[in-house]
């Protein structure tokens, strides 16, 4: 259930003096959005409906840092951050996503001359991206993630990649090679400055590029994307907040950009304070280095605050629209399904508190089929189930997949209304 600010709650600029920003250590956090009783994990697969409905729930209370522009869930408890092999967030079953990932890999291989090199991926999930980097560049890799399942992804590069089921720490510094990548991991970590500093310490005095990818919070705020706010995402970055963090932790920002329908934010960085005697060893990076000037994409903290105010002023209307949409469909006895059973689905249904108005959830990931969604209790079905069910409406959790999904529905001779968030 969503709760909005009342006059008794802090407004932007009224600081919570007892709360410290985990990104910059200041005491200028102010609450602007709350969602109560949401599942502490969205991607852990439950084996029964009862288990799913009894899944632990906690609160999301977003605080905005008026010093660095960072946003965090001040009620986040790392006790629940127990990622394991039954965490299922693999996206590589989508042709749309695979095309994006392949293009990104080819770009990084070319830009950083990654041929026959040693690559470390922090938070590698099931290993798709790392294996592709090693396959297309004839590289060697180490992937570290508590949810990794060695052997899940088939690749000709599998023999050149080592997977470690663990959380990354300084004790993994021995695996830092020629390139570090970290995709969709930082948003799950609340002590963000500590984490980026740990990576910097692991690099030492080597000129090792660091590539990081996260959701872009500017889009979340401007588009009122409440489905992208859930418990595991305890940290939210705009471009400027991310760049400021990297510089504060000893990195030089090489590039800062968005992609994937403007949903993802990317940063490429090199460590600073490298001894001159060692820089000459990395001639292939000479053309990559740039001065420590703000990137064109960076915004000020004041501009982030403006986006937060926009979100606060308009989010209630967005939530009411979707509640009415589902209520109208139910009153007409229409069959409504959600396509996409991941975190967006969990946030969509729990924030609106309308899981009873959705009959089924479908997903293309076969490792999710037959399992149950935490906190929601819906069983996840394969797309082929829809041929029997004949839905009237399909709600797509991510608009970037709309055309792909529409094509699959057409191939099954189905013509429901398809609407994307």
Asked if 175 and 117 touch (Cβ cutoff 8 Å), the reply is no
Percent of the chain residues topping a pLDDT of 90: 79
In which element (H, E) is residue 256 found? Answer: strand 251-259
User: Is residue 7 predicted with pLDDT exceeding 60?
Assistant: no
In sign, the C-alpha dihedral spanning 251, 240, 193, 77 is negative
Task: Walk me through the domains of the chain, giving residue ranges and CATH numbers.
Answer: 2-73 (no CATH), 95-303 (3.40.50.150), 333-420 (3.40.50.720)
pLDDT digits (tens, 9 = 90+) for 128-166: 999 999 999 999 999 999 888 887 778 899 999 999 999
**Of 97-101, 117-121, 147-151, where does the model show the most confidence?**
117-121
* Mean pLDDT of the chain, nearest integer: 90
pLDDT digits (tens, 9 = 90+) for 340-368: 998 999 999 999 998 899 989 999 999 89
Can you tell me the distance from the alpha carbon of 219 to that of 300, in angstroms, rounded to the nearest whole number?
A: 16
- Give the Cα-Cα-Cα angle 164, 169, 174 (nearest 5 degrees): 70
pLDDT digits (tens, 9 = 90+) for 266-302: 999 999 987 766 666 666 675 666 656 788 999 999 9
Percent of the chain residues topping a pLDDT of 70: 90
In sign, the C-alpha dihedral spanning 129, 131, 133, 136 is negative
The values of phi and psi at residue 304, to 5°, are -65, -40
> Within 13 A of 136's CA, how many CA atoms are on the CB side?
17
């Amino acid at each position: 259930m969503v709760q909005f600010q009342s006059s008794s709650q802090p407004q932007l600029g009224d600081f919570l003096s007892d709360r410290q920003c985990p990104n910059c250590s200041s005491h200028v956090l102010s609450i602007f959005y709350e969602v109560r009783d949401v599942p502490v994990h969205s991607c852990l697969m439950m084996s029964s409906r009862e288990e799913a409905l009894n899944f632990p729930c906690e609160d999301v209370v977003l605080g905005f840092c008026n010093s660095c522009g960072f946003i965090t869930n001040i009620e986040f408890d790392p006790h629940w951050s127990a990622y394991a092999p039954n965490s299922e967030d693999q996206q590589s079953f989508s042709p749309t996503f695979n095309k994006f990932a392949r293009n990104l890999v080819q770009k990084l291989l070319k830009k950083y001359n990654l041929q026959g090199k040693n690559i470390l991926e922090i938070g590698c999930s099931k290993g798709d991206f790392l294996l592709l980097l090693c396959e297309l560049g004839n590289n060697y890799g180490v992937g570290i993630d508590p949810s990794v399942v060695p052997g899940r992804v088939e690749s000709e590069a599998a023999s050149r990649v080592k997977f470690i089921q663990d959380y990354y720490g300084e004790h993994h510094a021995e695996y830092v090679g020629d390139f570090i990548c970290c995709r969709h991991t930082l948003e799950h970590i609340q002590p963000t400055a500590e984490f980026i500093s740990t990576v910097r310490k692991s690099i030492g005095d080597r000129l090792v590029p660091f590539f990081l990818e996260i959701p872009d919070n500017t889009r979340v705020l401007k588009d009122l994307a409440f489905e992208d706010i859930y418990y595991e995402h305890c940290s939210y970055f705009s471009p400027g907040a991310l760049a400021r963090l990297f510089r504060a932790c000893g990195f030089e920002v090489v590039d800062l950009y968005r992609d994937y329908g403007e949903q993802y934010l990317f940063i490429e960085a090199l460590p600073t304070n490298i001894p001159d005697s060692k820089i000459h060893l990395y001639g292939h990076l000479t053309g990559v280095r740039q001065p420590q000037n703000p990137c064109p994409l960076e915004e000020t903290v004041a501009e982030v605050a403006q986006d937060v105010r926009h979100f606060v002023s308009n989010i209630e209307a967005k939530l009411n629209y979707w509640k009415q949409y589902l209520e109208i469909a139910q009153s007409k006895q229409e069959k409504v399904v959600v396509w996409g059973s991941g975190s967006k689905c969990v946030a969509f249904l729990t924030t609106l508190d309308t899981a009873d108005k959705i009959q089924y959830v479908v997903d293309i990931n076969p490792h999710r089929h037959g399992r149950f969604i935490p906190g929601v209790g819906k069983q996840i079905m394969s797309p082929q189930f829809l041929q029997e069910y004949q839905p009237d409406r399909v709600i797509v959790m991510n608009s970037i997949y709309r055309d792909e999904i529409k094509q699959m529905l057409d191939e099954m001779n189905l013509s429901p209304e398809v609407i994307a968030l």
